[in-house]
Amino acid sequence: EHHQPILNALARAHHWQRLIDEGRIRSGVEIARQEGLNQSSVNELLRLALLSPQIVLALLAGQQPRTLTLRWLKNHELPADWEAQAEVFGGFDR
């Protein structure tokens, strides 16, 4: 089953990261200002753009752990290393 809040946040994160990569926006601060959001919320969501492709594919396929929530993703900084990310996600209930 798909977790729509996570998918929406993932889409936003990748869109914002693309805007930054293309130089159309300079930072999360500018995104927050334009979107009327808190800077920390934008930064929390931008971290989702750093998820490993395997994790992203699992999320898109609705194969995320049952206990994984958007709140958890926003409140926990994941390791940059994709193998370490897989270990973190492997620790959730399926």
Tens digits of per-residue pLDDT, 23-69? 999 999 999 999 999 999 999 999 999 999 999 999 999 998 888 99
Q: pLDDT value at position 4?
A: 95
pTM confidence score: 0.87
Task: State the sign of the Cα–Cα–Cα–Cα dihedral 8, 12, 15, 18.
Answer: negative
Tell me what the pLDDT averaged over the chain comes to: 94
pLDDT, one tens digit per residue, over 66-75 is 889 999 999 9
Q: pLDDT value at position 94?
A: 57
